[in-house]
Amino acid sequence: MSRLTKLEALKCVSNAFLSWTPPISIKESFFPASLKRLTFSGWFGFPWEDISTLVKLPNLEELKLKDRAAIGYVWRLRDDDIFESLKLLLFRKVLLTNWVASSDNFPSLKHLVLKKCDNLKEIPIDFGEICSLESIELHNCSTSAEDSARKIEQEQEDMGNNCLKVYIHT
């Protein structure tokens, strides 16, 4: 697939059940550098640590992880895990509980969308320092995740930035 040098969008869908298939690993060389939009939907079961290979996609603007595409309760990004071009990050029904990241990991992020992330304790508070962030949208997420989104919005307002909008749907 890495030879598909003009591929810009890829949606991977799995109908397998996680308990029946071993977790897979995402290989850096597997995806072409031209990729702008990547979606994983279904029971792929790749570990959160493998996300570091996706930061090496220089043109990646949209990353969508849906329906337990990743396994594990903690996503801890390293300092050198930087999604340079990522503008949209969407999680739907991921089991994530703790998300450890900084604004440096997502310098270009504009939109964060979380759907049915009822285990997530909070959005990293440092996201309030992402100057490009325009919206945080939560659908049926935990109360504590909603509270952290409101704190981020307040932090932005306190800095004089009224561009960030938080949308909470229950």
pLDDT in tens, 63-114: 999 998 888 899 999 999 999 999 999 999 998 999 999 999 999 999 999 9
Query: Which tens digit of pLDDT belongs to each residue from 113-142?
Result: 999 999 999 999 999 999 899 999 999 999
| Residue 2, in any domain of the structure | no
Which of 66, 17, 26, 67 has the alpha carbon at shortest distance from 46?
A: 26
Domain count, the chain: 1
How high is the pLDDT of residue 54? 92
| Residue 1, in any domain of the structure | no
| Residue 80, in any domain of the structure | yes
pLDDT at 2 over 60: no
- Backbone phi, psi, residue 157, to 5°: -60, -40
- Stated pTM of the model: 0.92
C-alpha–C-alpha distance, residues 162 and 59, integer Å: 28
For residues 140 and 118, the answer to whether their CB atoms sit within 8 Å is: yes
Range of the domain at 39: 9-169
The average pLDDT across 16-44 equals 76
Please name the residues in contact with 19: beta carbons below 8 A apart, sequence gap of 6 or more. none
| Residue 42, in any domain of the structure | yes
pLDDT band at 17 (very low <50, low <70, confident <90, very high): low
- Give 46's strand partners: 70
| Residue 103, in any domain of the structure | yes
Instruction: Assign residue 100 the CATH number of its domain.
Output: 3.80.10
